[in-house]
């Protein structure tokens, strides 16, 4: 079998052991990145496609040789699953490989915002501590997580891990019912209740028609004025222009964002403006520890092996 990796730079920067993956197929062609106009030519004649974020749409599936698409991520919105099912092409994704890294990053954002770490670091570099009349600086409010309420939207493996860490900080945890469902299972709350009562809201749901712009102007107004919003899930779940407005007006306390609707973003993206207070934006690297990326590569190899044995795992089917 022949395979093509369309965007290897998105997960391997030369620091991983790829021997198992390379041994999966007779021939691999590997591209650091792929632009939309390059996709058709690059996948031509391949039985296996590995793509992290490159769009695999109906035209890309027209090749009669194509048998297997492995998404080098958990999200499936870059592959037309309906077309794949109609053409008999197996699509698999990699699951729960980055929970440790992402949950760690969630609390990096929460703690940075709760302690105003960046503001205090800047103050020291500006010489303000050196000129202080007392031994410390307390120019920005510092908040303890203990006793706060952590609201989680999306309670899969990652959401559960974030809840566990929050509990270890002494936080109370609220879990949102699945967005779009009418009933509220025992132990869950509605999104409205979660927005109203949470001090920190962390998003871990997939981007779907139901969750697109799940958090917009109306929802931001429901949040506490000192609440923090954390999004390490997908861009598009939060309306970015509305969030920028809410932060500028002080409607919420702050936000930590690792994902944007357009990635990489353009220079005039609404959340990259320099005048937005209490905002931390990281470049979609919450998942990117060496350990999680190694697990990703190993699992891609395992998925291909299982497919070759006639036992495909983690199949992605249209809803």
Domain with 125, as residue range(s), is: 99-281
Q: Is residue 112 part of a domain?
A: yes
Cα 136 versus chain centre, distance: 37
Q: Is residue 271 part of a domain?
A: yes
Q: How far apart are CA 302 and CA 70, in angstroms?
A: 11
Residue 75 is predicted with a pLDDT of 86
Same domain assignment for residues 139 and 270: yes
Residue 170 is predicted with a pLDDT of 98
Residue 279 is predicted with a pLDDT of 97
Residue 181 is predicted with a pLDDT of 86
Do residues 17 and 294 lie in contact, with contact meaning Cβ atoms separated by under 8 Å? yes
- Active-site residue set: 234, 263, 284
Same domain assignment for residues 89 and 158: no
Same domain assignment for residues 182 and 136: yes
Same domain assignment for residues 185 and 139: yes
φ, ψ for residue 222 (rounded to 5)? -75, -20
Same domain assignment for residues 63 and 138: no
Same domain assignment for residues 274 and 168: yes
- At a CB cut-off of 8 Å and minimum separation 6, what does 121 contact? none
Q: How far apart are CA 258 and CA 282, in angstroms?
A: 5
Q: How far apart are CA 162 and CA 38, in angstroms?
A: 39
How many domains does the structure of the chain reveal?
Answer: 2
Same domain assignment for residues 77 and 174: no
Q: What is the pTM of this model?
A: 0.91
Same domain assignment for residues 104 and 164: yes
- Per-residue pLDDT for the chain (319 aa), expressed as one digit of tens each? 999 999 999 999 999 999 999 999 999 999 999 999 999 999 999 999 999 999 999 999 998 999 999 999 988 989 999 999 999 999 999 999 999 999 999 999 999 999 999 999 999 999 999 999 999 999 999 999 999 999 999 999 999 999 999 999 999 999 999 988 888 999 999 999 999 999 999 999 988 889 999 999 999 999 999 999 999 999 999 999 999 999 999 999 999 999 999 999 999 999 999 999 999 999 999 999 999 999 999 999 999 999 999 999 999 999 7
Residue 246 is predicted with a pLDDT of 98
Residue 45 is predicted with a pLDDT of 92
Nearest to 211 by CA among 183, 185, 181: 181
DSSP class of residue 122? Answer: H
Same domain assignment for residues 150 and 79: no
- At a CB cut-off of 8 Å and minimum separation 6, what does 24 contact? 3, 301, 304, 305, 308
SS3 content of the chain, % helix, strand, coil (to 5): 35, 15, 50
């Amino acid at each position: 079998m022949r395979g093509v990796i369309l965007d290897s730079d998105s997960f391997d920067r030369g620091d991983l052991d790829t021997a198992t993956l390379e041994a999966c197929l007779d021939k691999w062609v590997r591209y650091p990145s792929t632009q939309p106009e390059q996709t058709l030519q690059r996948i031509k004649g391949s039985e296996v496609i590995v793509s992290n974020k490159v769009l695999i749409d109906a035209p890309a599936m027209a090749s009669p040789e194509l048998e297997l698409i492995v998404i080098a991520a958990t999200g499936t919105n870059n592959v037309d699953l309906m077309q794949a099912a109609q053409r008999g092409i197996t699509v698999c994704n990699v699951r729960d490989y980055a929970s440790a890294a992402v949950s760690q990053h969630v609390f990096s954002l929460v703690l940075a915002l709760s302690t105003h770490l960046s503001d205090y670091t800047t103050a020291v570099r500006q010489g303000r501590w050196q000129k202080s009349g007392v031994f410390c600086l307390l120019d920005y409010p510092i908040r303890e997580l203990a006793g706060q309420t952590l609201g989680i939207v999306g309670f899969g493996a990652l959401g559960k891990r974030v809840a566990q860490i929050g509990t270890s900080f002494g936080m109370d945890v609220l879990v949102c019912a699945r967005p779009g469902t009418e009933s509220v299972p025992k132990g869950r709350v509605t999104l409205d209740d979660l927005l109203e009562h949470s001090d920190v809201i962390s998003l871990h749901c997939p981007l779907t028609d139901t969750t697109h712009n799940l958090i917009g102007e109306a929802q931001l107004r429901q949040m506490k004025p000192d609440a923090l919003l954390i999004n390490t899930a997908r861009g598009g779940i939060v309306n970015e222009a509305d969030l920028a407005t809410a932060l500028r007006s002080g409607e919420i306390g702050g936000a930590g964002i690792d994902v944007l609707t357009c990635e990489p973003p353009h220079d005039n993206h609404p959340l990259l403006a320099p005048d937005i207070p209490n905002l931390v934006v990281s470049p979609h690297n919450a998942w990117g520890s060496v350990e999680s990326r190694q697990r990703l590569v190993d699992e891609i190899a395992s998925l291909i092996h299982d497919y070759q044995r006639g036992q495909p795992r983690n199949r992605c089917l249209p809803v």
